[in-house]
């Protein structure tokens, strides 16, 4: 069982979300961590908070990144969380 969960916040039709999804899926698969995707258009609160920032990447519910997902940075952040740093 993993101690890290990656969440992608996005919306349908978002090309940057498609790019982020591919990076997150690859990293999550390589590192054996679960990931999930949340459609911000299904929640008024998410829409208000994240509309201008999507895609947003959360690690254990805390914002890690937005707009673009840097694969190296994501791998390093997951590693730090696993190490307890």
**pLDDT at res. 2:** 61
**pLDDT at res. 84:** 83
User: How far is residue 67 CA from its own chain's centroid?
Assistant: 10
Please give the Cα distance from 81 to 4 (Å, whole number).
Answer: 7
pLDDT, averaged per 10 consecutive residues of the chain (85 residues), comes to 88 97 98 98 97 97 96 97 83
**pLDDT at res. 32:** 96
Task: Tell me the fold of 6-83.
Answer: Glutaredoxin (3.40.30)
Q: Tokens representing 45?
A: 């609160």
Q: How deeply is 51 buried, as exposed, middle or buried, from its count of CB atoms within 10 A (0-12, 13-18, 19+)?
A: exposed
């Amino acid at each position: 069982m993993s101690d890290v969960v990656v969440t992608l916040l996005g919306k349908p039709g978002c090309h940057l979300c498609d790019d982020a999804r591919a990076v997150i899926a690859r990293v999550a698969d390589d590192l054996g961590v679960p990931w999930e995707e949340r459609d911000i258009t299904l929640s008024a609160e998410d829409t208000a908070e994240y509309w201008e920032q999507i895609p947003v990447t959360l690690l254990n519910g805390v914002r890690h990144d937005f707009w673009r997902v840097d694969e190296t940075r994501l791998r390093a952040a997951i590693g730090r969380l696993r190490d307890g740093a």
